Structures are given as structure tokens and as C-alpha cells.
Structure 1
Amino acid sequence: MNIQAPRGTYDVLPDQSAKWQEVEQKINELCRLYQYKEIRTPIFEHTELFQRGVGDTTDIVQKEMYTFQDRGERSLTLRPEGTASVVRSYVENKLFGLPDQPVKLSYFGPMFRYERPQAGRMRQFVQFGIEAIGSKDPAIDAEVISLAMEVYRSVGLKRLRLVLNSLGDTESRIAHKQALIEHFEPRIEEFCSDCQTRLTKNPLRILDCKVDRDHPLMETAPSLSDYLNEESRQYFEEVKGYLEELGIDYVVDPNLVRGLDYYNHTAFEIMSDAEGFGAITTLAGGGRYNGLVEDLGGPESPGIGFAMSIERLLLALEMEKVEIGQSQNLEVYVVAMDQSTKKKAFSVVKDLRSNGISADMDFAGRKLKAQMKSADRKKAAYVIVIGESEMESGRVAIKEMATGEQQQVSFEEIAETIQTKKSLEE
């Protein structure tokens, strides 16, 4: 029986994992600089959390969740996104009682959605996200957006576009909702069944419909920007002002609504403009969710956050031809000429590793020529050959593979010499 990975899942093989590790390292460093502390939540939650938090009119809840009953007949769901779980933990663990607000949290881990697999969009995917809960200061909105942009810049991406919109406060959204109902209702039978259901529950979701996106009423739908009250307009202007202070370029798109029900005020997406990226160019998205904490049983605690797909980040790197993960290459390959020198080679490898230098050797009994080819395939920076003459003299040649240059040193000097060469290269 030929068992394969389930559709929509994949294996991260060793030649790719180095890229993942470098992305994670850069993310961790940025979170340290911005002071976002990691939180780890369960991979599955009670289904009600996502129905209430994400919204029962969203595609995620209606079509994409992996939901099952456990042996106690409780309905559980593999998490399709991170915010609801983080907010649930914030409420359950009473983080709103901490003296320092907002509470700044980050997460990194697998999410699950049942949708058609395509490049950079799988059924199991990895998200990095942050949440700042407990502040309604427009400056924190700009900080959250800034951190998202810095993640992409830190790995070398340049073809980026930040798109903003304001979804307004409750008053603005109620006025816009009524206008949308009046706009779509006379011809709602021309829309898909999902949109017909959304008309009275959440007509804003109609604007995000993938089935009816080309319907003529979409072009003439009332814009939310026309229904923003003065408070919402002022808030959005302040967010834009802070972004300008940070030197972050942006484009305002009044049609940006995001796919989750909990958003209000600031909403944003970061797109890739890289050639060949495909039709779906969104790399990350997020926004403000004042009211979500209260919906999940907590006190008034306004929040904002974003989530980004690591798979889509790696796809963008591929499209822009940016290479990362090179720091994982082998530094020293130690060649044993025969069995009589293998133990010494093994000892040298151990000593190099003890000094923080990546080292490897042959474990397949190959001849000198085959071992040199292996060192080349592993992209070793240096090669050391140990034979009878080296054992007798107590000295070896450290060969730099890129230039062919060699340096004679004693066995005791190997690690120190490699470290010196590394520091000169840096």
C-alpha cells in the first residue's frame, strides 16, 4: 500500500527547513525588539469559539473548518486562525488584569482550513501572528503594521504593497449595513445562496464573495468610507499619520473588508507585487477588533493584530529570487583516509562541534574521491584530510573550498583557526 500525505498537506524536507528556521529566527528577533511575547494555544478548540469569534457568516466557519466530535460528543475544531484562540486565552487567564496594557502577544504554528490546495495556500499551513490587546491608541495600529512590514523586509523582500481601509465603529457599520441591504435586496436572487443568507445577517460579507465578484452591483455598492462618522474618520487619519511618521507607504482601498467578522476601524493587507506571484497576492492581513474580547466573555479590551502565512512568504522569496537559509551550510568536512585514521577524524569533528563549528564526516566507508565529492555536495566551506602523514606530523592542511588555498596547522589549532577565518569573513 502506497500511503501518501493527505491532500493539502506537505513535508518540509531538510533542504527547505533551513529557510523556515531563518525566517523563524528573524521573526523571533523582531518580536524581541518590539516586545511581543510568545503565547502557545491548543491546536483544537471548542467549535463555538470560532463560531462566535470568527463569525458564523464567514466562509471559514461555513465551509472551511475541520470539525469533529470527540468521545464525549463535544464538538471540537482544528484552529483555522489564531486570533480567536489568543483572545480566548487572554480572557480565560485574566491577562486583562496585568498592570501593563496593552498585552503584546505573538504566536507561530499550524492552522487548518478545508479549501482547494494551490501554491502557497494549503489545508494545513503555518501562520505567524501578533495581537496587541488592551489599547485603542492609533499608534499601536501603526506599530502592528510596522512589525508586519519589517518581517518581510528582514528576509529581503522588496516588492511589497500595503493596502489600508477603515471599517469604522459600530455606528458607522450599522449605517453602511442598511445602505448595503437597500442596494442588494432588489436583485439578491441573482447572487449565490451564501450571499442571499448574508444579506440581512452581514451584507458586508457580500463584497468579499468570490462567486459574485464580477456582478455589476459590486461596482456600484455603497462605500463604507461614505458612512464613517467623524470619530472613525479622525481615528483613521491618525493611523495614517503615524505610518507616514514611520516612512511606510500605503494605498487606501475602500473595498478592502477582510474575511472575518470581528474587524472594525483599521483593516490592512500586505500584497506582493512580484512578477509571476499569481492572482492571489495577499501575504498578510489584519486589523482592529474592538469588541471581540467582550464577545468572548471578557471586559472591554480593544485589540489589533495580524497574521501571515509562512508558505506565502517563502513563495514571495522564490518569485523575487531571494535566497535565504545559506547560514545552515556545512563549515568543515573532515576526511579520513582509511580506518586507521577514522577515530582521529571522529575526534576532530567532535572538537569542532564543541567549539560551535558545524562539522561532518563520512559514515559510509567511501574512498577519498567520493568523500571530497560529498564535501562539495554539502557545500562545505573547508575540508581537512587526515591520513598517515598527518598522524605522524601532528599537523593537517585546512583547505578553503572556494579558493583552493590551504593552511597548515596542528591538531590543537584547528578549531581556533576556523573560528578566526569565520570572524574575518563576517
Structure 2
Amino acid sequence: MSGEFAAPKGIPDYFPPASADFLAVRNALTGAAHRAGYGHIELPIFEDTALFARGVGESTDVVSKEMYTFADRGGRTVTLRPEGTAGVMRSVIQHGLDRGQLPVKVCYAGPFFRYERPQAGRYRQLQQVGIEAIGVDDPALDAEVIAVADEGYKSLGLSGYRLELTSLGDNTCRPQYREALQEFLFGLDLDEPIRERAKINPLRVLDDKRPEIKEMTADAPLMLDHLSDTAREHFDLVRTNLDRLGVEYVINPRLVRGLDYYTKTTFEFVHDGLGAQSGIGGGGRYDGLMKQIGGKQDLSGIGFGIGVDRTVLALEAEGVSVAGEGRVQVYGVPLGAAAKSELVYLAGQLRAAGVSVDLAYGDRGLKGAMKAADRSGARVALVLGDRELDERTIELKDLSNGEQRKIALDDVVAEIRALLAP
């Protein structure tokens, strides 16, 4: 490592050319959401700590172990956002969006923060795209949310993933299931931290990844076997709609997400090419969250969070690049100060016409400048020297096939647009 400073541990940098894949992934995922009518919402990077403690759940690892929490200069306790749903719900309540047309459908993207042991695919600053649909409890809406994520993955060319699906029941069947699960867990030889977790939120014990705990809980009662008639009907309708949408899934009755607010439909997208950190996105329905964080109404919601970082890694595991074309379409090669001045002007004209342009800066020679043109991924190189300036012409080289010809300076914009036209 060179230099005095480095990025904080567990926080990746994305820079050219690799950042093109990152940007393409984020745009594809948000694009799928926008096509389904989800409007953009921009959330604060940090919020009142109590929002996450109450909304996400104090028994979760996220709240108890992973949050970046600090006191600001005013003595207020604030936390870098570890997830997006609680912040969206807070915004909906604060700005009265729940009193307008329902469902409220929003999409967000950006960094989230969790203090975890860094490893491949698990970062302390993770990038996510998320959507939330708040205010309508409709199995068809659950299916839409899941299908939006699936469409986003498919639009990127990702294929080696599976969708795992379950239901975590509703408030009419969860209390009885909680009792049955606690009775089972308290009969096991659990260590004290796990027993405490079983008292607070027994479902979280099933999320323990340690092999010995998974083996001990292999015969634990399952929520799917304890669903109320209403919750069962809801889950069946979600599956029916997913079948009609052509979204493939597998039922995983032991699926438990890492946040406490999930009810009914719960899902996760898994890619086995990523090793231990195989989850690339997931979400579910959250009845009761609005009331829990102070809302006067108790509207249901459903959403997902997709890991942009992990989706990039999944694409790399499949050998798929989504960066697309080069970073610019045209590369200008000036040979001399007067030529550079003219190409600066032409670059401005082309950019105004919607063409992406870069120039060889720093007085490079022709050979070095043409290598830079190749590395840029440009389709066209424009070479201008003193002789061409005197003639009011410029050399246009099509880098895709090597063809070269002179055109009039006054015709550059029209010629380039015609050449680049689909």
C-alpha cells in the first residue's frame, strides 16, 4: 500500500474502469423499480438511534452489535443508517404520505453501515437498492415487489441465483407459534446468550449460522405448519401470482431474515457462487412497523433491499460484465496548441449535442494519444494538426474498423451523430 491514508477497513472503493459495472448494476435495479411505478426517495445518512432500536428490533444483531452510533455536537444520539425500511416509514409518517394515495411506492439507493467483520461480500459500508410499498396489504403487491427484484437481476444477465420464500405468519398465529418454539428451545442445552435470545425473540435462534446450533434446532417447529387460515390464504395467493409472473422460487420453511419487523411474506435471493455471504437481496412484509415507530395509523408495507456490492460479485462469479460500451464515444487527439484549442471547442459542441467526448491532455505525442483513445473505448478518434487546421478539416478514424477519412471542421457534429446513430 502506498500513501499515508487508506480507505477505512471494510469499505470498498469503486473506481474506473471497474466502477462501470457497479453503476450499471445500480441503474438496472433502480430501472426495474421505476418501470413498476416506484418514485425516488432520498433518505438521511443518519437518523435518531431510537428509530432503528424500535423499528429494527433491539434483539437483532444489527441493533445490538453492528450499528455505528455516536453523539453529535448537540448531545443527540444518532446512528448511521443500517437499513432503509425504518427510514422510509419515518419519512412517510413525518410528511403525511400515508394520508394520500395508497400504496406509497418508493425506491432508494445508497450506502448503509454495519460494523461487521469484513470479508468478501460483507462490508462495513454496503451499497443497496431498495423499494417499499406502504399502505396496502395485498398478496398481488407482494408478488410485484418480488418480481421487480427478479426482473432487475435478469436484466443484468444474472442466472445462477434462486429465490427462497416463506411466510412468517400474522398476529393471530405468531403468538401460539412463539410459545411452541420457546417450549422446544428451552428443552435444549443452549448456552446463556442463546437462551436469552430465545426469551426475547425465539425465531432469531433459527437464524444462528453455527453448525452445532443448526443441528440442535433441526427438528424445531416451523412457522409454515402453524399459519392461520388468513395467513395461509395470503401466502397461497402470493405463490399463485408469482407463478403467473413466471418467477421461479423454492419454499424454505426455515428462512429467517435478520430484522424483527417481518411478517407474512418473507423472501431472499441466494447465489451459491459467493460462498458464505450468499444472500444477494431479500425482504418481506412488515405489518405493525408503522405503529411501532409512532405512526397514528397501522399500515402494512412490503419491500426489499438488494446488495449492489454482492450483485457485482455474483456477476463476476458468473463471468458476466455489464459495463457496456466505453466511457466515451469520441476521443480527440490534438497535435499542437492551436489544434488543442479547436478540439476543446469541438468537444463542447459535441457534448451539447449529446455525444460523450474526451481529449488527449498533456501534450502527448500521436502514438501515446492513440493508445489512450483505444483504452477509452471510444468508437471514433478525431485527429487534428496544424495542416488540417489550415485546411479547415479534421481526420476522423473509426476505431471499430480502422477506416479513416477527412471531413470538414464545420461538419464534425453532423458526421459524428450520423456515424453513432443506431
TM (normalized to structure 2)?
Answer: 0.95
1:236 is aligned with what amino acid?
A: F
Deviation string 1:20-57 (CA, Å, 9 cap, x unpaired) is 33233333432332111111221111111111111111
Partner of 1:375: 373
Deviation string 1:344-368 (CA, Å, 9 cap, x unpaired) is 2222222222221122222211211
What 5-or-longer segments of structure 1 have no aligned partner? none
Partner of 1:335: 333
Percent identity, aligned pairs only, is 42
Partner of 2:38: 36
Deviation string 1:92-128 (CA, Å, 9 cap, x unpaired) is 2221110x11111111111110001111220011111
- Measure the CA separation in 1 of the matches of 2:74 and 2:410: 64
Q: Residues 285 and 307 of structure 1 are in contact (CA less than 8 Å); yes or no, is this contact kept in structure 2?
A: yes
Partner of 1:14: 16
1:128 is aligned with what amino acid?
A: V
Measure how far apart 1:214 and its partner are. Answer: 4.3
Partner of 2:165: 164
Measure how far apart 1:387 and its partner are. Answer: 2.0
1:125 is aligned with what amino acid?
A: L
- Measure the CA separation in 1 of the matches of 2:32 and 2:215: 44
Measure how far apart 1:215 and its partner are. Answer: 4.5
Are residues 341 and 200 of structure 1, via their aligned partners in 2, closer, same or farther at CA, if it must alter by over 3 Å? closer
- Measure the CA separation in 1 of the matches of 2:95 and 2:338: 62
Deviation string 1:256-288 (CA, Å, 9 cap, x unpaired) is 011111111000001124xx4212211101000
Measure how far apart 1:86 and its partner are. Answer: 0.8
Partner of 1:91: 93
Are residues 375 and 216 of structure 1, via their aligned partners in 2, closer, same or farther at CA, if it must alter by over 3 Å? closer
2:286 is aligned with what amino acid?
A: Y
Matched, 1:209 2:211: no
Moved more, 377-386 or 212-221: 212-221
- Measure the CA separation in 1 of the matches of 2:330 and 2:207: 54
1:117 is aligned with what amino acid?
A: P
- Measure the CA separation in 2 of the matches of 1:115 and 1:169: 31
Measure how far apart 1:397 and its partner are. Answer: 2.7
- Measure the CA separation in 2 of the matches of 1:242 and 1:45: 36
Measure how far apart 1:252 and its partner are. Answer: 0.4
Deviation string 1:283-319 (CA, Å, 9 cap, x unpaired) is 1010000111111122120111110111011111111
Partner of 1:351: 349
Q: Residues 195 and 205 of structure 1 are in contact (CA less than 8 Å); yes or no, is this contact kept in structure 2?
A: no
1:413 is aligned with what amino acid?
A: D
- Measure the CA separation in 1 of the matches of 2:376 and 2:325: 12
Partner of 1:250: 249
1:194 is aligned with what amino acid?
A: P
1:348 is aligned with what amino acid?
A: L
Q: Secondary structure at the match of 1:135?
A: coil
Partner of 1:120: 121
What 5-or-longer segments of structure 2 have no aligned partner? none
- Measure the CA separation in 2 of the matches of 1:328 and 1:23: 16
- Measure the CA separation in 1 of the matches of 2:328 and 2:42: 32
Deviation string 1:228-281 (CA, Å, 9 cap, x unpaired) is 1111111100000000110111100100011111111000001124xx421221
RMSD, aligned CA = 1.7
Match of 2:279 among 272, 282, 299: 282
Q: Residues 394 and 409 of structure 2 are in contact (CA less than 8 Å); yes or no, is this contact kept in structure 1?
A: yes
Moved more, 254-263 or 11-20: 11-20
How many residue pairs get matched?
Answer: 419
Deviation string 1:217-238 (CA, Å, 9 cap, x unpaired) is 2111111111111111111000
